[in-house]
Homo-oligomer: A and B are copies of this chain.
Amino acid sequence: MSDLASKTCVPCRGGTPPLKGEELDDLWRQVPEWEVIEEHHLRKVFRFSNFQEALDFVNKVGELAEEQGHHPDMSFGWGYAEITVFIHNKTGITESDFIFAAKTNTLL
């Protein structure tokens, strides 16, 4: 398990400044298969061989979301699940988003 994946998401305080530049890149290198979109959210598409496997994965991510108090958006259907991680006050990406992404990788 990566260092990131062993951490715990923390609730985003209103004043938490979003990660930018080098600081963001350092964390991204730990989960490079996730796309960083406009320094605002993280996204990854997972592929599966049928619908049920995608649904099962979505449930694991859902359980993690409730456990961590960090709720992604998910799109899924036959053979795929796209997970988008972001803080809901829309200011940008925080370490907790990267932690959630790293934990999601371990669910496969």
Q: Which residues on A are within 8 Å of B, measured CB to CB?
A: 51-52, 55, 58-59, 62, 65-66, 71-78, 88
Q: How far is the CB of A99 from chain B (nearest CB, A)?
A: 18
A59 touches B66 (CB 8 A): no
Known: A58-B58, A59-B59, A71-B78. 5 other contacts (CB 8 A): A51-B65, A51-B66, A71-B77, A73-B77, A74-B75
Complex Cα distance, B82 from A55, in Å, reads 15
Q: Which residue of B lies closest to A74 (CB)?
A: B76
Query: Given A78-B88, A88-B78, does the pair A71, B51 have CB atoms closer than 8 Å?
Result: yes
Complex Cα distance, B50 from A71, in Å, reads 10
